[in-house]
Structure formats: structure tokens, C-alpha cells
Structure 1
């Protein structure tokens, strides 16, 4: 008994110090001890997914757990068009959080020194389409789990990796959708697909403020949401990117690899091998849930402008996930009732599998990235007497060069300016509108992809476009594999030197080929300055030397009724500096050749007031592109009118009616007469693609159209077996090919374009019949039209020399009809001048 008592006494004496040491150990070794991290349910006051999240709720929750939890911090990548913050949760161990600056510095070395070290970087990004909302919900759940879990695999993950979680990549679209779906959700859940909750109004939440599909903007970066995303990518240079989407409600679940034959040839083979290895982890996670799935079908890895493929050309592994969408709380499908809760759980499951797979393959992902950048590291240019690369020119337009350099900067592609003019292949490359881009740089793969030309493909099926060569989009003169001496190159942009003029100046002239001239013109008109344009070319003395000016040149007379010469000079000078537009001063109205400045062939440009028809039946994307150009580029106050409200609108209050692609089936004969009267009275209708069919059926377009029915009869299916059906159908699609137009350079619709040719992107089976009235044809497809991308030979032959742009007079007004969208995704800067000409020049000539 005494021995037992002594043992008990010793234990009693030792226990307090043991407990104290245990407590001390927990406080020291477990940073989550005593930490309370709010759960999504506690934050919302209801179960996650019971109602659709708003973007402000997502942001507030991320900020709250970042304040509470030492594993979480926040990155802000800027604002959306509607000024919503774009936040990303950075989740890792507290030790890594304490040295994020060091980790980020290490990440910058991989491109330039090939140094691979530090933690693995995993980026999971959700809901870039705002109505694909299950991803955003699962991101919130995942953020809380990673912040609070003490499971061994999570602790190990956060010790060895930094996890970036972006719940909402399209703040404006997500709020548009959640407001819609929440607004039509009742107390009793309705799964009927016809219920208004599942049938969004126009526009849907898929797109952003300007109605753009942000998952097509990773290369082009026309929108601030995309610019912030790409900046985040290059700041962290992730090893793995998970891109979470939704698809039609009758599907199951998809994850990559996609269709093997439709992977872009520039993507390394090792990328697809790692994607396949990662797929095993997704399979295991979904099998455990008994969730059906599929791979290697429907989706591809071709267009580098998407969230799952941009990483592939930038040294990372990008993986696309597609969950069947309830588009609300729940919806009937061929696979049974599909619920938002189920979708959230599936996205959460593949988020977990992404983390487990990436950390398990850490060494392979690191090795792949190191190999990707191997031999691409930038070497000091002084070590070589010359560099090989791309030499390009925007032909008298510094504006397009500036737009290109801004894009290259965002993609971290190095470039140089010329210090003196050069001649290559008979082409003069001027200092202020030329650029040299060396091959020898870290981003050489992306550079090659951005200027890729190809017309041969293993599989003619494309989930998006088949080509996007920026040479054609910007309409650049390009010489490949040019070697230049370092002495003619500079990293410093030529300084813009605004022109000045003296008291004897009678007029100011502006070369219309400058892309920013249209924006400057719009501001002058708003400020009450009279501006004219030359309907014909002329030559005039400038500083005692004869200078040639093309048709389309703007003239600003310094003698005007409402403004003094000094007032005009001050306004023009300020705007010229703002838009970087060259101004030429002349001290005489007398031309040495062609029309004098006082000629009636100098037409006064009237202020414009455009109206865009929007709403159901019109293309959301193309309405958005027209709106973006007018509002964001030109700075024009633009009216969007819903197609159902047109009967109430007085068209005479407007100068132009713009019609994007669409079917316009709700417009009746009464409105057709109204629109015809608008044109007869001097209005201009600008219409493209599907809108032309309605104009033709309404007898507002006289030139006959060729629809897909005409073209598809050119294809012969004789002898084809059933298994060739899909390929045969794919050959009849136009998956975004670049075609060449031949221009009538004397037509005002083509003023300011570079020469007699123009590249356009064609993605719809539509054209015009040959017409005997050549005066209406402003542009035809070239005899050999295909420049880049896939276009079946049947189409190439049929489009050859057929009309592409028609301008028909209607008494005092006109209809401008275009078979293609010359603003494609607002990156087709080389052809957007056509719209400016239709806005400012065409009204003056009728």
C-alpha cells in the first residue's frame, strides 16, 4: 500500500507540470490553438448553398477569415468594370505566411534564372462565368476547411504549398445571376427547367459588364478582370491551375484531359502526361462519391485564351473541370434531379483531389516547370552582337503599337524600339510605329503562340476559335526571323513630340490612319469644334515641302463661328497630347495637287448619337463588343434599347442604329417600315452577320444573302460511314478562321485602313451573292482568302472574290452590311476603323 501511495503521490506531483508543458506545447506548436474561424454557415446564417451567394458576401467572408486565421491572407487584383473588388485567398502555413515576400521573390526567378525552389504554388479559380456559381460556393467551403483542418495531409500540404483560391473571377456577372436566381426562388424549390429561376433574362450572368466572356480574354486582356487575373498568375507563377466551370444540366462531370487530338501543338507532351496523372486523383475522389464523370470528350486544350489553357503555354498545368449546372437551386435532368448542393459537393471533391494530386506530384510539377523554361532564360543582350526575332510595324499608327506594347507588358514579353528607321524586304519600318520582339526570352513559347499561323489540323473540331494571330488582329506588317544589331534597339519608347503651330496657321490636319484619331475626333465634336474630312486625296505644302494626304484626312479650320483660333488650338493641342495623335499645321488652303481645303469634297462631320439594339434575339457578346467600342474606345454616349421596347422609341432622335449578330425574330413588319423611314431620312443602319438575314427578309437589304443552307450543299457526304458523321459535321463549321478582304480603297468605309487588304476573323457561315452593282461593294474576300486557321476547302472556293462589306444607299441614309464581326472580342484593332468610318463619314455622303 505504501508503494502504491508513493507512486500515486509522484504522479500527482508530476501531473501539473506535465499538463502545463502540454499546454505550452499546444500554444507554441499549434498556431490554430485558441483560434476561432467563422464557418460559412455561421457567417451567412443559413447552410451554404441554401441561397446563391452574392459577390460582396464572398469578399466579406474572405476578409473575415483572413483577420481571424494565421493561415489566410488576401490578395486584391483590382476592380471589375462595376468597381467590385477581385479578391484571392492565399492559404498556407503561418511559417510560409511570414515569408510570402521571400516566396514571391523566388517565384520571379523561375522565368529568368531557372531557379526552382520554395513551396508548390496551387491556384484554384472558380466561376469565371458568373452563372456557373457552384464553384464559388465550393471555394468558400474549401477556404474554411484549409484554414481550420488539422488533418495530417492538410498540415503537410500547407507546409509544402501555397494555395491560392479565387472564388469569383467575374464579380459583375455573378451578381447579375445570383440576383436573378434568388429573385425567382420560392419557399418550395422548383426543379422544372421551364421555371423562370432557370431561364435567365438577357443578358445572362455568364458575361461581365460589357457582356464579354472573360474565359476568352486571357490572351487579349481587354477587361480589368482579366488583367488582374493574369497579373496574379505571373506574380505567383503557379505550378498547377484548377479552372472550375459548369455545363449543361443533362451532363455529368468532366475533367481533363480533353480530346487528345485537339491539344495545341505548342503545348509540351509532358503537360498532357501530368494532366493524365492528376486525373487519377479526380477519378478516385468522384468514384468514392459514386459520381459519374467523363474525360477526353467535348472539351479541348487548343485556344490559349482560356483559363485552363493559358497556364499550359506559361509553364504550368491547367486543368478544366465542368459540373452539370442546376442554374438555380435544383433542376430536372436526364440523370435525375440535379441540385446546387450536389454541384457544390462535386466541385469541392475535385478541389480536394487537385490539392492531393498536386502535392503528391510536387517534384514532377517542379521538374516540368523547370524544363519548360530551360534554355529560355533571358541572356544579357550585350553578350551577343545581334538578336533574332519579329520585326513589325503598324504603318503610320503609333496607337496600335502602344496597344500592343501594353498587351506584351502584361504577358511579360520583352520587346524593343528602333532607334533609327530600317528597311526590310522592301518595307520601311519607322521609329515611332515599329517594334522588335526577340525570340531569345523567357516567354518565347507564349510569344510564338500569340503570333502563330497554321492552316493544317489533325482534327477540324474546335471548342473555340482555330486561330488568333495578333499580326492579323492588329493588322501589322511582320517580318519573321530578322536579325538586328543592338545599336538600333532601345528599351525606351520614342518620346511623343506634339506639333506646334504659329499665328499664320489656317488649318490643322490629322492623318486618319492613326487609330486614336477617332477618339480625338469624338471629343472635338463634343466640345463644339467643327471638323471636316477629305473625301479625296490631296497634296499640300507643309513647312515649304509638299506632303501627301490620303482620303479620310481630318481638317480643323482655325476660323470658326463659335470659337476663336486660340480656343481651337488649345482644345486640339490638349487632346493631341492626351491621345498621342500627330497634328500637321498648314498656312494655306491651296493644295499643290487634288482638292483644296475649302473644296466641297471636304465634308463636315456631324455629331453622332448611336443606338444599339439589345435584348433577347441579339448576340450578347457582339452587342457588348459594339458597346465597348463606342463607350470605352470612342467615348460616345451610347443608348442600348431592348428589342421589345423599340416600338416606343423615336428613331429620329438618333443618327445610327447598330444591329449585332442575332435572329431578330420578334421584330415585325411595322418596325421594318419604321427603320426604313429612319434610313430614308438620313439615318445609318450598321448591321452584321445574323442581323442581315432580318434586313433582307424585311426588304431593307437588296443584296442577296448566302446562308448556311447554300454553303452546306457544297459538301458531299456520299460514301461516308456513320462514324465519320462528327468529323463531317465539324468540317462544315467555321471555327474562327482569319480571312483576307480586298478593299475598294476609294470607298469612305475603308478610309484610314493600311492598304487594299484587311484581315478579319470569320466564325459564321454567311456571305453575299455576287452582285452586278459594284458600287455597293466596299470589300470582297480575296481570291485565296484563308490567312490562318481552319476553313474547309469548299468554303475557301465559295467565298473567293465574293462580297464581304456592302453599303446600300437609302435616299438620304444608308445600310452598312458586314458579313463578319470586325470588332471580334475588341482585339481586332486593325479593322475597327470601319465602324468609325460608318459613324462619322457615311452620313455626310448621303
Structure 2
């Protein structure tokens, strides 16, 4: 019996979308309205049940004739659940930064739906062989359906996956002529996450619809196909969430990872789009593969690939496999699930980026066609999962068994130990992130010894004899090598001046990026350990709240950084000590925060107690300002940190990633607000009210020189001279160091050459000198440009050393880990022009994790990473690489905080 009506559905939809938007939706004619005259064939034998609600009945347009908004997607899945609660159940797994609901739907047979909680419990049992022996596992794998998780549109402007998600759900519920469907629902639980990035998608649709004319325009030059900054790919903080899975900075990713661990699907597919001139990609992936993937995972990719190919051949869809998209970096959505045992894959569809697209060859394709190909691939994936149910479940259990065995038998890296002595807050956050990914962690209750070393109480210990062993090795090992043959091919390509095939970064070790202490031991730690689960931020402490003189907080980690930001927002008076000192027998590091009782309100102790609990900081009250050694609290080594205002360039030509990542680190990790100013406005803006201005790295669509030019430079120079602090990161230094700008006294280096190529001089009549070429090497020398930038690095973690005596380096670890990308290497600067506070290590010590070209290794050695140049009453600070990239270089947050807060404390602004 039909249990819904169009009126009720529209009422539910109105509650989701809002009345005004709903009214507008039904007044706007579909740009492809004529397509309704000829029914579109989604599946030739489908014979859809008219009782099942269609997308058109629920939201007013047919699938693929318009791009569906987030609210429309949610409304449609709610309508399906209302119609078939015995086959569909919706779950909410969080909200985006902008408050949009994140949902997924479980779709299966009525029999499976009736025991859904038991199925979920069964998967958790299979995920841990320590509590589920082989006999019990055989019973479970013989009885349980497999779980296939289809995740759509993590990039908001990759639009077709989400509409394909709705068509897939409709087909599973309504198709009466597809003989596969009954077996699919009996043998699988299909989980559909229809939209991973609601904020980005709605941003894309809004801008797309504002450009539409009388009919869709297929020309790639049309405004329909060219998004303004920032495009819809990213979420609210402009993150590429398909790189976030190992670090979990965004609520969309954190919620998704938590949901996956509630179900442990055996198959996970991340459905994307790529350039419109391509075709369709599905697994198997390209090399290199991560060495911690199991062989049966790699083998199973061919099961899915062959089924996909069968249906694509039937419908005449072009496709490719084993090219471009590799399985090395674990931070993709289509990689992370593999490390708990899933078969994890990426699908990529050529995008129309609108309703109609013209390729370079003159052919056109429409949006509905792109939706259909993702729909066909989705069904093929479910079919393969259902057909191979027993194998996939057996392999999933075996993955856990062999992971534990490998960990137990490891005689070199059985145990990972984190003493937390260098960065207590960073270690705590890292442990929290690992725990959120299902890694079991223990804490030592007392001092202990392991592998000949002593470790203090409080040391965190991770034993690899657990189901997450392969994830542990992947996330924590300092070095994971790409396949040797692949590396040789890349070096050969470089030798021929061809681009490399490395798709993403080559190093991502979390302890390296967090810059925390980690040791490994080939034996287990068996005594004095307590299993722990933890939040990322510990509860801080304040001792001696009745102190009569001051409260001190040691600088050097993000607990103190969060405390400083929170104190300034609470309008407390905060000072910072440039040098270390000894007070009553305790050594306090450079950068230590000082809260004078006399300079603050009477309830300072209570306020700081609350801030300590919130930020994780350690605060100590003192009743004497006498120091045993070092500079006194009233000396010139102590500066007051003003209640600063921070601005940032926003919009072209900044890289949206760089801008969003930097703003996120400052606002959400440190806790201080940032004013985003359109870059073009900075050309003539009155910046008097701001203490700090950040120029993030440039994107690919322009440059600061084009946007700001010499006029903008004059504005910035005047503001800096009057006491402003200008901070530039990565490619923004191209502008700051430009020969016509010279806000920073360094320059990009060319690639070093030997002898200059001969025979390149010409005369006034455009003739050139004759050359004699004796070998191919001579020919290559003539063809090589006389000046050329270094080869581009795909992403490698390198070491940088720090001058802790300068205020920018106060409290910073002596050695940092920096993600080096691109081809920008900057020349050394004489000390009378600028101070190099952090510089890359020597060639032999440079590599921290990943793969680096030898020429870059040699050229980067001892070159600057962080520079400070004074100008009048202010400063220009340059970071030659991006300290906030993807917000996963937590080890660089202290030096960034120094640039912002301590830079402002050292400037002498004219107000």
C-alpha cells in the first residue's frame, strides 16, 4: 500500500529547504525540459514500479535534468525511507561547518533490515579475531550479507555522483525487470552516502544557476563552466577533503570515518569526476601501491574492474584502468578504508560541470549521461559484492588475522612509544587522532624500560599486534618507499624532461608532521600499561590560583598557543618573554607567557583556571618576580602582546587551499579570528586597524603582481613601515621578492648549471653562430634552457633547523619537519638585510620522509625556510614553504603563532 502522497512529500521538502527556495524551484523551468518528451532509458529492462516515489515527484525535476541541491537530496532519501522503511533506513553522521546535515542510507532486503543491528554487530565481531575465533568467523561469514559503501561527491563541483546516488537507490527499490536486484539486496547491505560535501555542492549550484541563460551552453569558455574563486570543490574552510582522511581536520571527514567504523563495509567506493575531455576510470589503480596493502585486496580489484568493464562494454561507454590514480597515499577516501581491510576504490567520470559540455573534439555530452555512467558503475559494484559475498567476508576476517600475526612476529617495530617529553599537547592530539581511527593505545602508569631505554610514566604505547597493524605502520613509519621500478621510471622521465607520474605527496608520517618524539622497539611492553581512549585536547591545569604576582605558562606547544589566543579574546593582558629564564628552580623556555596580577582583573585566577581546562595549557601561579637567572619580568626581553587584529588576503590570486588552510589553523586550531579581505581591495586599503596581514600562496589563476602590482606594494610598504607585520607563505614570496617590489630581500633560484650552453648568441640580423654537435649529450646541452627552475617536488617531508635565540624561533623545536612542494627555492640573505630564523638542513640530513630528487636535495640544503626582515616600525616575515598545508603540519604551528602574535608584540605600530 502506498504510504506517501506528493503533498506530504512536498511538505517534508519545504521543512528541509525552506518555503522561498521551494517556490522558486517549481517556478523555474528545467533547462532540459524538452528531454521529458523522450523518456530517458536508465536501464533497458528496469520496468520501474510506479508506486516508488521518483525524484521528479519529490523535488520537481527528473534525474539528470537539473543538478540537485543538498536539501533536495536529503528530501528524496527521506521520501524513500518513508515509502519503504522495511528496506531503507537513514542515518545522520554530523553537520558541516555551515550547518548542513550529513546523511547516509542503508538499503537492503526486508529480512536483512529486520536484523540490521545484528549485521552491524557481526561485522564488528569479524573485525577482531581476538574475540572471534575461526569457527565463529565461519558461521558469521556464511550468514552475513556483505556491506558495500558507496560515497558520492566529496568534491562539491563533481556533481554527477550525487544524482547517481539517488538513481541507484531508486533502482534498488523500484526496478522489477533487473534480475540482479533481489540477489543484491539479499546478499548485501548497500550503504549510500549521497553527498560528502554539501557546502561545496550548494556553492557550485548557486553560482552555476546564476550564469544560466535561455538554454544550457556547452562551450567550455562560457561562465557556466568557469567557477569564480573559490570553486565548489572544497568545503567551507576550502579543504580538499579527499586528502583529509589520515588527519581528520574537518567534521565531514571525522563523521564519515566514525560511521565507517560502525559498519566495517567490505567494499568502499569513492565516486568522483575529472576533466570533461576524459572518459571513465575505475580500478585497478595505477602503481605505486602502498606496501601495506594485502595481496588479496589488490587481487580483488580485478573482480570489480571486470564486472564494471562488462557493463560498460554492453552500453558502449569508454573507460580506462591502471592509469593516473594510484594507491600509495593513504589519505584519500578511496584509500583509508583499505587499512582496516576493505576493498577500496576510486571511480572517476568525465564531468560536464553543468548541463551540457563540448569536448575538444567537438562532441557534446549532457549531464544526464554522466549521471548514468556513475549509476551503471554503482550497480555493477553492488553486483560484484553480492556475487562474491563469501570471499569478501572471508578476506576481511583474514585481513585482521594476518595483521595481528604480522604485528606479533615483528622483531623490529613491534611497539611504538611516545614519551611526549618534547611536545605534550602535540603528542596528545596525535594519540586522539589515532584513536579516532580505531588504533588501540595504552599509557604507562609508571616509569619503565623497553629495548634498553627508559621511558617516563605517561608514555603512550602502541602495540602492532592488533587488527589495525597495517594502518599503524602506514601512518607512523618514518619512511614508506615507492616501488623501485616505479621510481626508476620517474627518474628516467625526468632525465628526458618529462613530467613525473607521482600523483600526490610521497611522505606523510604523522609523528614527523607533528614533530613529536617517537621510538620503536622490537619487543612488546607487557607491564604497567592501561588501555586509554582520549580526546585530542587534555584538561589543563593551574597551580597556586591565589598567586599574588603573576601566572606563567610555558611556551612551545599548541596548548600554550590556544591559551594565548583565548586570553587575548578574553581581553586579558598577556606578556611574552623573549628569552628563557630560571625561576624558583624551574627553567622556563623562551616565549613563556606572563599574566601579571596587577595588570588584570581581580578574578584572574578563576579566569585562567577556566582557560587552562579549555585549552590544555599548564599555568603556574607565582608570588615573586625575582628570577634566579635570565632577564626579569620587567626587562626589555618581555613584550606585551597586543589584542591584535589579523587580516588575510582572500580571493584571486590566492590559492583557495592555502587561504582556507591558513584561516582554519588560526581560527580552529589556535582559536583566533581572521578578517578575510578581497585581495584586490588591499591595493589601496586603509589597513591601520590591523596588526598582521597574511598573504597565502598563489593559485594557478594569477599572481599578486597582476592583482596588487607596484601600487599595492606601495600600500603594503607604508603599512609595514608604520608598524604592520606582513606574513607571506610559499608562492606569495614570488611577489614579496619580485625585483619591482622587494618587500623581502631574497630571490628564487634557478636550477644550477655547469658550463653555459654554447652557440646561443645571435646578431642583429637574427642569425646565430654555427655549432658542432658531437653527441646526444651535446645536443641536450644546447636544447636545455640557460636558466631553468628546479624540478618540481611532488611533496616530501624535509628537516629545517631553527635559531631559537630569535623571537620568531622562541619555544620552537630545534628541528622542524616541513612539507616541500613545487620548485621554489630561495637564495640565502645577508644578515644585514634579513634574519634567517629557520633553514633547511644539510643535504645528508635533509630528508625526513618521502622521496626527493637528488638535485633538489643538494640545492635546498641550508636555504631559508623562515625569514624576518625589519622595515621601519614593522616586519615582513616569509615562509618559503606553506606551514599550514592541509592543516596537518602541527609541528609548525608554534612558529606560525610566533609570526602572528610575537611579531605583533615586537612591532611598534603608529596608532
* Cα shift at 1:395: 2.6
Describe the superposition over 1:674-720 as per-residue Cα deviations: whole angstroms up to 9, x where unpaired. Answer: 0011111111111111100111114333432225x436999999669
1:123 to 133, 136, 149: 149
**Aligned ranges for residues 678-689 of structure 1 at < 5 Å?**
678-689=719-730
Larger mean Cα displacement after TM superposition, 84-93 or 416-425: 416-425
* Cα shift at 1:482: 5.4
SS in structure 1 opposite 2:819?
strand
Residue 557 of structure 1 is matched in structure 2 by 596
* Cα shift at 1:747: 1.4
SS in structure 2 opposite 1:517?
helix
1:46 to 57, 61, 64: 61
CA distance in 2, matches of 1:338, 1:109: 47
Describe the superposition over 1:453-472 as per-residue Cα deviations: whole angstroms up to 9, x where unpaired. Answer: 33743324321111100111
8 Å Cα contact 1:740/1:759 also seen in 2: yes
Q: Cα 1:379–1:781, aligned 2, differ >3 Å: closer, same or farther?
A: closer
8 Å Cα contact 2:549/2:625 also seen in 1: yes
Residue 568 of structure 2 is matched in structure 1 by 525
CA distance in 1, matches of 2:789, 2:348: 22
CA distance in 2, matches of 1:715, 1:71: 73
8 Å Cα contact 1:52/1:182 also seen in 2: no
* Cα shift at 1:35: 9.1
Q: Cα 1:588–1:426, aligned 2, differ >3 Å: closer, same or farther?
A: farther
SS in structure 2 opposite 1:628?
helix
* Structure 1 gaps, min length 5: 1-31, 382-386
1:653 to 689, 695, 698: 689
The answer on 1:196 being equivalent to 2:228 is: no
The answer on 1:94 being equivalent to 2:110 is: yes
CA distance in 2, matches of 1:714, 1:838: 41
Larger mean Cα displacement after TM superposition, 454-463 or 516-525: 454-463
CA distance in 2, matches of 1:412, 1:521: 32
CA distance in 2, matches of 1:511, 1:127: 44
CA distance in 2, matches of 1:133, 1:33: 25
Describe the superposition over 1:751-777 as per-residue Cα deviations: whole angstroms up to 9, x where unpaired. Answer: 2223x1111111121121123327610
The answer on 1:807 being equivalent to 2:839 is: no
8 Å Cα contact 2:548/2:597 also seen in 1: yes
8 Å Cα contact 2:422/2:517 also seen in 1: no
Q: Cα 1:598–1:135, aligned 2, differ >3 Å: closer, same or farther?
A: same
* Cα shift at 1:814: 0.6
SS in structure 2 opposite 1:228?
helix
Residue 817 of structure 2 is matched in structure 1 by 759
- TM-score normalised by length of structure 2: 0.83
Q: Cα 1:586–1:91, aligned 2, differ >3 Å: closer, same or farther?
A: same
* Cα shift at 1:452: 2.6
Q: Cα 1:510–1:223, aligned 2, differ >3 Å: closer, same or farther?
A: same
CA distance in 1, matches of 2:229, 2:330: 28
SS in structure 2 opposite 1:597?
coil
2:612 to 550, 557, 576: 576
Q: Cα 1:378–1:752, aligned 2, differ >3 Å: closer, same or farther?
A: farther
8 Å Cα contact 2:450/2:521 also seen in 1: no
CA distance in 1, matches of 2:755, 2:588: 45
CA distance in 2, matches of 1:623, 1:715: 40
The answer on 1:548 being equivalent to 2:587 is: yes
CA distance in 2, matches of 1:34, 1:705: 68
Residue 243 of structure 1 is matched in structure 2 by 270
8 Å Cα contact 1:696/1:704 also seen in 2: yes
Residue 510 of structure 1 is matched in structure 2 by 553
1:838 to 899, 902, 908: 899
* Cα shift at 1:255: 1.1
SS in structure 2 opposite 1:763?
strand
CA distance in 2, matches of 1:714, 1:356: 62
The answer on 1:442 being equivalent to 2:467 is: yes
* Cα shift at 1:548: 0.7
Q: Cα 1:314–1:719, aligned 2, differ >3 Å: closer, same or farther?
A: farther
CA distance in 2, matches of 1:622, 1:421: 43
**Aligned ranges for residues 3-82 of structure 1 at < 5 Å?**
36-69=51-84, 70-82=86-98
The answer on 1:454 being equivalent to 2:479 is: yes
CA distance in 1, matches of 2:558, 2:892: 10
CA distance in 1, matches of 2:545, 2:385: 68
Residue 6 of structure 1 is matched in structure 2 by none
CA distance in 2, matches of 1:153, 1:317: 21
- Paired residue total: 795
Q: Cα 1:477–1:686, aligned 2, differ >3 Å: closer, same or farther?
A: same
Describe the superposition over 1:196-244 as per-residue Cα deviations: whole angstroms up to 9, x where unpaired. Answer: 1110011111000000001111111101100111112111111111211
CA distance in 2, matches of 1:824, 1:303: 16
CA distance in 2, matches of 1:687, 1:713: 32
8 Å Cα contact 2:558/2:670 also seen in 1: no
CA distance in 2, matches of 1:201, 1:571: 44
* Cα shift at 1:48: 1.6
Describe the superposition over 1:217-274 as per-residue Cα deviations: whole angstroms up to 9, x where unpaired. Answer: 1111101100111112111111111211100111111112122x31112112222221
1:667 to 690, 693, 708: 708
CA distance in 1, matches of 2:748, 2:48: 72
Residue 23 of structure 1 is matched in structure 2 by none
Q: Cα 1:592–1:448, aligned 2, differ >3 Å: closer, same or farther?
A: same
**Aligned ranges for residues 566-605 of structure 1 at < 5 Å?**
567-605=603-641
Residue 824 of structure 1 is matched in structure 2 by 885
CA distance in 2, matches of 1:358, 1:647: 57
8 Å Cα contact 2:540/2:614 also seen in 1: no
CA distance in 2, matches of 1:799, 1:380: 37
SS in structure 2 opposite 1:491?
strand
The answer on 1:308 being equivalent to 2:323 is: no
Residue 856 of structure 2 is matched in structure 1 by 795
Q: Cα 1:526–1:772, aligned 2, differ >3 Å: closer, same or farther?
A: same
1:418 to 438, 441, 444: 444
The answer on 1:343 being equivalent to 2:370 is: yes
* Cα shift at 1:435: 1.2
Describe the superposition over 1:395-443 as per-residue Cα deviations: whole angstroms up to 9, x where unpaired. Answer: 35332233122212211100011212356799874435x3111111110
Residue 506 of structure 2 is matched in structure 1 by 466
Q: Cα 1:745–1:125, aligned 2, differ >3 Å: closer, same or farther?
A: same
CA distance in 1, matches of 2:547, 2:292: 59
SS in structure 2 opposite 1:209?
coil
* Cα shift at 1:733: 2.9
Residue 260 of structure 2 is matched in structure 1 by 233
SS in structure 2 opposite 1:293?
coil
Residue 44 of structure 2 is matched in structure 1 by none
Q: Cα 1:703–1:625, aligned 2, differ >3 Å: closer, same or farther?
A: same
* Structure 2 gaps, min length 5: 1-46, 488-500, 758-774
* Cα shift at 1:810: 0.9
* Cα shift at 1:41: 2.1
SS in structure 2 opposite 1:78?
strand
Larger mean Cα displacement after TM superposition, 710-719 or 68-77: 710-719
SS in structure 1 opposite 2:127?
helix
Larger mean Cα displacement after TM superposition, 177-186 or 779-788: 177-186
2:316 to 290, 294, 317: 290
- TM-score normalised by length of structure 1: 0.89
CA distance in 2, matches of 1:75, 1:827: 29
Residue 761 of structure 2 is matched in structure 1 by none
SS in structure 2 opposite 1:490?
strand
Q: Cα 1:338–1:502, aligned 2, differ >3 Å: closer, same or farther?
A: closer
Q: Cα 1:327–1:493, aligned 2, differ >3 Å: closer, same or farther?
A: closer
8 Å Cα contact 2:432/2:533 also seen in 1: no
Residue 528 of structure 2 is matched in structure 1 by 488
Q: Cα 1:511–1:296, aligned 2, differ >3 Å: closer, same or farther?
A: same
Q: Cα 1:712–1:667, aligned 2, differ >3 Å: closer, same or farther?
A: farther
8 Å Cα contact 1:807/1:817 also seen in 2: yes
1:479 to 479, 497, 519: 519
